[in-house]
Structure 1
């Protein structure tokens, strides 16, 4: 985590190469800290990737637990087929592994 100009940024291993929709379309994806799923979302963070470009941003001012820490497992929800189909090896980065979580249909 890094704080600059009063904004705390949480960095993820995945970058805009793995999910470009927020950069291209300002798409919203819920972001959840799975390590602290029962903790109150009492902190506010910008969630960014490791590419260090202004478009490497998954969400601004997102509510997450204040004690979010390096190494926590984060969920970028509802990326779906577009997340995988639009992913690239931009800047020689590897594609992230994918996990599919099946659950009850609402």
Structure 2
């Protein structure tokens, strides 16, 4: 099954996601991201929550989780990505939220 972005979903976010190694841990169907350590993000837009039910799947929550997963879900294996520019984090979040 292919995870297709919704119309208007940010494709730059896909490129930033892949360029920063996110696909080493996460799978996204239809992309080179084939990781198996983290959750499969192929259908992110259909999720009601992220972080094992800790946060709603809204823009601010997804951006916060990308930047500081340990603050939101202690013990998370995901590294912080707060070293990325805020615009890059927003692009990744936008792309992930557009995956159907």
TM-score (norm 1): 0.27
Higher helix fraction (1 or 2): 2
TM-score (norm 2): 0.28
Rg larger for: 1
